[in-house]
Amino acid sequence: MNAPMSARVAYFVNQYPKVSHTFIRREIAALERQGVHVERLALRGWDAEVKDAQDVAERERTRYVLQGSLARLALEGVGRLLSRPVRAWSALRLAWRMSKRAERSLPFHLIYLLEACRVATWLERSGAQHVHAHFGTNSTEVVMLAHALGGPGYSFTAHGPEEFDKPEFLGMARKIEHAAFAVAISSFGRSQLCRWVPAAQWPKIRVVHCGLEPGFFAAPADIRPALVPRLVCVGRLCEQKGQLLLVAATAILARRGVAIELVLAGDGEMRTDIEAAIAAAGLQAQVRITGWIGSEQVRDELLAARALVLPSFAEGLPVVIMEAMAIGRPVISTYVAGIPELVRDGVDGWLVPAGDVDALADAMQACLGTPPARLEAMGRSAHGRVQARHAIDVEAGRLRGMFEAAIAESAR
């Protein structure tokens, strides 16, 4: 039986649902199991192709700010601004301040203000007591402006690496200043947000891990290593994930005579470059690119591999690392962002310096040469580690408590 309804909260995301946003769906579902009423709002995503049945259901439950006539959006926005001149002036000033030294010029921030007008109206009609945004980019600016227009208090989760790469251009300090609280998904992420605000603001920056549902964890009896010489990398094919370095490391192993199969699960803007690198190294027989695949297929690829390898150059804390560890797969990754907080070198997997192709090749070879008993022990350690730190109901419970405290403070 669900707990009594404790709060009415809206979630706001730039695009939802999305293949790479399953962690948001899990968080919402966990909050609802705990009695929180969650309204889903997004800028776009109504026409995005989604294959997962749960994503299809989420799309039906989501309201989209940019769906329909843009002229109507503008008319609604202007109408709200004219009807509440004091609030409108405050929000206009805030939008103007956000445009200073920003990545985008003032017209973009005025568009965010029009979007915020619609969001504020929807929040009032729904009775939402608080709104939470994911990603500290334009989605957070929209809910901040909606708050300035008279909407409820807001919070946001910063994931990285974008928020860490250009915090001044994103106005992170101002977003934290106006928020009821801000969330980071790792201690490293919290430290990066703390850099841009006075120490007096630090207590409002909290850590809430992304989490996995209980059903995602393998039963201890089912944790057995895959003994084929196969590694899988799951993620968007982009510069941040380091797949080109991974292809180079695979070529080193091939020259050493090490048997290896590499699966690149994902797609993205660098696919053509990666395919060219595979061809140039003559690795077509060893390396396979799957394209976009759903969560069940990701799980199948992880189960069929000896380990996950993710040679990231920049990160927050990848959910796929949690997913791999939950089913007993060790992880080969880098000393980047929040990754070392979860993966312990030599215990749950292997960590190497980011950008070091020789160290990456050595770690991959060590994994492929690890005896089955040791590999199973590492998988079990990884399973226990992620279960203790990333259970979604525990993390959502923390978040629910923050929502309720923020709502109570606003009411006072």
Degrees to nearest 5, angle at CA 376 with 372 and 379: 140
Do both 319 and 220 map to the same domain? yes
Do both 163 and 220 map to the same domain? no
Do both 395 and 385 map to the same domain? no
Q: Looking at the domain assignment, is residue 283 inside a domain? A: yes
Q: DSSP label at 5?
A: P
Q: Looking at the domain assignment, is residue 257 inside a domain? A: yes
Q: What pLDDT is attached to residue 1? A: 39
Do both 194 and 343 map to the same domain? no
Do both 13 and 142 map to the same domain? yes
- What is the identity of the amino acid at 253? L
Q: What pLDDT is attached to residue 50? A: 82
Q: pLDDT tens-digit profile of 333-376?
A: 999 999 999 999 999 999 999 999 999 999 999 999 999 999 99
Q: Looking at the domain assignment, is residue 357 inside a domain? A: yes
Examine the pLDDT at 48 and tell me if it is beyond 90.
no
Do both 219 and 76 map to the same domain? no
Examine the pLDDT at 297 and tell me if it is beyond 80.
yes
Q: What pLDDT is attached to residue 294? A: 81
Per-residue burial over 85-94, b if 16 or more Cβ lie within 10 Å, else e, is eebbeebbeb
Examine the pLDDT at 91 and tell me if it is beyond 70.
yes
Taking alpha carbons only, the member of 191, 176, 184, 103 closest to residue 144 is 176
Q: How far is CA 205 from the centre of its chain?
A: 17
> What CA–CA distance (Å, rounded) separates 374 from 178?
50
- What is the identity of the amino acid at 146? A
> What CA–CA distance (Å, rounded) separates 114 from 103?
19
| Averaged pLDDT for residues 289-299 | 90
State the CATH number of the domain containing residue 119: 3.40.50.2000
Q: Looking at the domain assignment, is residue 201 inside a domain? A: yes
> What CA–CA distance (Å, rounded) separates 138 from 140?
5
Examine the pLDDT at 5 and tell me if it is beyond 60.
no
Q: Looking at the domain assignment, is residue 82 inside a domain? A: yes
Question: How does DSSP assign 183-210, residue by residue?
Answer: EESSHHHHHHHHTTS-GGGGGGEEE---
In this structure, of 116-125, 176-185, 288-297, the range with the lowest mean pLDDT score is 288-297
What is the extent of the structural domain holding 158? 7-211+391-411
Do both 23 and 166 map to the same domain? yes
pLDDT band at residue 155, thresholds of 50, 70 and 90? very high
What percentage of the chain reaches a pLDDT higher than 70? 99
Do both 273 and 381 map to the same domain? yes
Do both 319 and 399 map to the same domain? no
Q: What pLDDT is attached to residue 150? A: 96
What percentage of the chain reaches a pLDDT higher than 90? 91
Q: What is the pTM of this model?
A: 0.93
pLDDT band at residue 2, thresholds of 50, 70 and 90? very low
Examine the pLDDT at 4 and tell me if it is beyond 70.
no
What are the start-end ranges of the E strands in 216-268? Answer: 230-234, 261-265
pLDDT band at residue 53, thresholds of 50, 70 and 90? confident
Q: Looking at the domain assignment, is residue 2 inside a domain? A: no
For the chain, the domain total comes to 2
Phi-psi domain of 234 (left: phi exceeds 0; alpha: psi -120 through 50; beta: other): beta
Q: What pLDDT is attached to residue 249? A: 98
Examine the pLDDT at 6 and tell me if it is beyond 80.
no
| Averaged pLDDT for residues 228-239 | 96
Residue 68 contacts residue 38 (beta carbons within 8 Å): no
Q: Looking at the domain assignment, is residue 1 inside a domain? A: no
Q: pLDDT tens-digit profile of 206-231?
A: 999 999 998 889 887 789 999 899 99
In this structure, of 61-75, 101-115, 216-230, 259-273, the range with the lowest mean pLDDT score is 216-230
Q: Looking at the domain assignment, is residue 372 inside a domain? A: yes
In order of 106, 189, 204, the CA distances from 183 in angstroms are 27, 9, 8
Do both 157 and 13 map to the same domain? yes
Do both 372 and 397 map to the same domain? no
CB atoms closer than 10 angstroms to residue 5: 11
Q: What pLDDT is attached to residue 3? A: 44
**What is the chain's mean pLDDT, rounded?**
95
Q: What pLDDT is attached to residue 293? A: 87
Do both 328 and 402 map to the same domain? no
- Name the token pair of 305: 């591999």
